[in-house]
């Protein structure tokens, strides 16, 4: 009887563990099936995912290959884009707790050589930069971000100098406008108060203590760790990129890291550690006041549960991280393909992971390439119309010079004004279009060429006619 009671007791103790293990196995398979479907739908060459729950990595896997043919692993470096921002915000909070930075102090206290024009008596504060409420417009920020060819050792100072004398679009602290230049300025502040390069400070005070040994903030170190170019997307298809890297961009978007290292960062954001006090960690975790969407380096959902998350993108890479302190849950996803018009679809990947971890069915948003295909159809249509128009003009023995002259002038004017009209209406620079929508840029150039050739050939054919129709 005693043996029977012991056996029953052991069975009761072991059964919950077996049940959890079975559920874990089922969850693993759901995640793998979902990720395989997503990577196929979005034609993403390589990805790596880590899920953290109750202090442990409960799922970690990688798929596909990098542009050099190497298999993606948990230790493969990716450029993490704006996921760099929350790491920079952690550095600022550490310096704040150390007494070297005051969040509500004007930024000229730390970088007096940076100047800006404003119609307000308010100064930009460090907190304004963290919360993306500096008043510097996104358009002005794009002028100095994502540039190749800056000085490798002094890139941050160089870029901030280029931004200096900027005219503020809003009163500091009043309007949220997401802008990577805000975190570029935070990088300059970190260098100024620490008397170290941004790379040295991050390596010594964040990466090493957290064991993020494959995370870097400079190009040479990233390449030494194995960083290779990612992929552009042309009509949804992956094409190897040129490996653009901004030597001033680490504070806002050009850190390179791995899913394994980012999982350590998310674990810290969930559970804390020696780098930051409990109060400091809570400030980073806290959603913004007044219904705003951006806190101290973190986005928060517009509706539903409020938890910190951040996405990141460069011309060839996409990443996303989130953590939910109440559930002790977080995740990291890095991929090696990007296109701005595909970004919304990509968000459903991490949303699907959250759904699976919460016992819900994941929904995958289909890839929408309508804008690219519509642009292609427009170009083809203009080629056909232009060809028909020129053939008809050439065959005519008599022409109305005024009518055809107007058509030729209109074509040339459209060719000249198409790109400026597009950029002014969208509020972005043409350089940004080329970086993040390369297929749209190429098709626009084709359309400009068609219009210009049509206009010039129209003038040529008119000049060649001996007779005119009056």
Q: Contact 118/165 with Cβ under 8 angstroms?
A: no
Structure letter (DSSP) for residue 125: B
List of E strands, 204-300: 231-234, 237-240, 256-257
> According to DSSP H, which parts of 134-248 are helical?
138-142, 155-163, 180-194, 198-202, 208-210, 219-225
Q: Contact 220/77 with Cβ under 8 angstroms?
A: no
The DSSP annotation for 201-216 comes to: HHIIIIIHHHT-TT-B
Residue 82 sits at the vertex; the CA angle it makes with 79 and 83, to the nearest 5 degrees, is: 75
How is domain 22-357 classified at the architecture level of CATH?
A: 3-Layer(aba) Sandwich (3.40)
3-state secondary structure of 292: coil
Q: Contact 163/144 with Cβ under 8 angstroms?
A: yes
Structure letter (DSSP) for residue 251: T
Report the greatest alpha carbon distance in the chain. 118
| Domain ranges for the chain | 22-357, 370-464
What does the block give as tokens for 201? 């400070």
What is the pLDDT at residue 466?
A: 54
Name 28's Cβ contacts closer than 8 Å, sequence gap at least 6: 59
Helices 438-464, 370-395: inter-axial angle, 10-degree rounding = 10
What is the pLDDT at residue 426?
A: 81
What is the pLDDT at residue 393?
A: 86
How deeply is 286 buried, as exposed, middle or buried, from its count of CB atoms within 10 A (0-12, 13-18, 19+)? middle
> According to DSSP H, which parts of 358-429 are helical?
370-395, 401-426
What is the pLDDT at residue 18?
A: 32
Give 321's strand partners: 310, 332
Distance CA 457, CA 390 (A): 7
Give 216's strand partners: 256
Residue 329: CB atoms within 10 Å:
21
Q: Return the half-sphere exposure (C-beta side, CA atoms, 13 A cut-off) of residue 317.
A: 34
Residue 405: CB atoms within 10 Å:
14
Helices 401-426, 370-395: inter-axial angle, 10-degree rounding = 170
Give 202's strand partners: none
Q: Contact 134/172 with Cβ under 8 angstroms?
A: yes
What is the pLDDT at residue 356?
A: 95
List the chain pLDDT tens, one digit each, 470 residues: 334 333 433 333 333 333 333 344 489 999 999 999 999 999 999 999 999 999 999 999 999 999 999 999 999 999 999 999 999 999 999 999 999 999 999 999 999 999 999 998 999 999 999 999 999 999 999 999 999 889 888 999 999 999 999 999 999 999 999 999 999 999 999 999 999 999 999 999 999 999 999 999 999 999 999 999 999 999 999 999 999 999 999 999 999 999 999 999 999 999 999 999 999 999 999 999 877 889 999 999 988 788 999 999 999 999 999 999 999 999 999 999 999 999 999 999 999 999 999 999 999 999 999 999 999 999 999 999 999 999 988 888 777 888 888 999 999 999 999 999 888 888 788 999 999 999 999 999 999 999 999 999 998 888 887 554 44
Q: What is the pTM of this model?
A: 0.89
């Amino acid at each position: 009887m005693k043996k029977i009671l012991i056996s029953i007791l052991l069975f009761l103790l072991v059964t919950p563990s077996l049940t959890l293990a079975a559920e874990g196995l089922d969850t693993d398979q759901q995640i793998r099936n979902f990720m395989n479907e997503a990577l196929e739908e979005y034609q993403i060459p390589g990805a790596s995912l880590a899920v953290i729950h109750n202090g442990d990595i409960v799922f970690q896997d990688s798929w596909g290959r990098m542009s050099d043919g190497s298999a993606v692993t948990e230790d493969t470096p990716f450029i993490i884009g704006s996921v760099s921002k929350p790491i920079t915000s952690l550095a600022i909070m550490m310096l704040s707790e150390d007494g070297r930075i005051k969040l509500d102090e004007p930024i000229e206290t730390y970088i007096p050589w940076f100047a800006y024009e404003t119609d307000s008596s308010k100064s930009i504060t460090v907190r304004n930069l963290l919360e993306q409420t500096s008043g510097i417009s996104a358009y002005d920020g794009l002028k100095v971000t994502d540039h190749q060819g800056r000085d490798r050792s002094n890139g941050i100072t160089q870029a901030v100098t280029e931004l200096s004398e900027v005219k503020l679009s809003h009163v500091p602290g009043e309007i949220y406008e997401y802008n990577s230049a805000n975190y570029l300025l935070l990088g300059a502040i970190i260098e100024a108060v620490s008397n170290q390069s941004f790379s040295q400070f991050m390596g010594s005070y964040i990466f090493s203590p957290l064991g993020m040994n494959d995370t870097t903030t400079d190009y040479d170190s990233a390449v030494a760790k194995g960083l290779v170019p990612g992929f552009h997307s042309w009509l949804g298809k992956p094409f190897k990129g040129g490996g653009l890297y901004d030597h001033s961009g680490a504070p806002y978007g050009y850190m390179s890291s791995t899913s394994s290292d980012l999982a350590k960062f998310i674990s810290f954001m969930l559970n804390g550690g020696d780098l930051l006090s409990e109060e400091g960690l809570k400030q980073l975790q806290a959603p913004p006041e007044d219904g705003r969407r951006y806190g101290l380096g973190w986005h928060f959902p517009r509706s539903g549960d409020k938890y910190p998350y951040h996405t990141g993108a460069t011309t060839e890479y996409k990443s996303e991280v989130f953590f939910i302190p109440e559930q002790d849950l977080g995740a990291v996803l890095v991929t090696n393909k990007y296109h701005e018009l595909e970004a919304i679809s990509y968000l459903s990947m991490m949303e699907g992971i959250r759904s699976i971890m919460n016992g819900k069915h994941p929904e995958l948003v289909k890839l929408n390439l309508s804008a690219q295909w519509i642009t292609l159809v427009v170009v083809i249509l203009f080629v056909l119309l232009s060809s028909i128009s020129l053939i008809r003009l050439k065959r005519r023995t008599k022409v109305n010079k005024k009518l055809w002259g107007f058509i030729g002038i209109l074509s040339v004017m459209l060719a000249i004004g198409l790109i400026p009209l597009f950029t002014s209406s969208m509020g972005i620079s043409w350089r940004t279009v080329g970086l993040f929508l390369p297929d749209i840029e190429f098709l626009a150039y084709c359309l400009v060429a068609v219009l210009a050739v049509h206009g010039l050939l129209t003038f040529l054919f008119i000049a060649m006619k001996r007779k005119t129709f009056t």
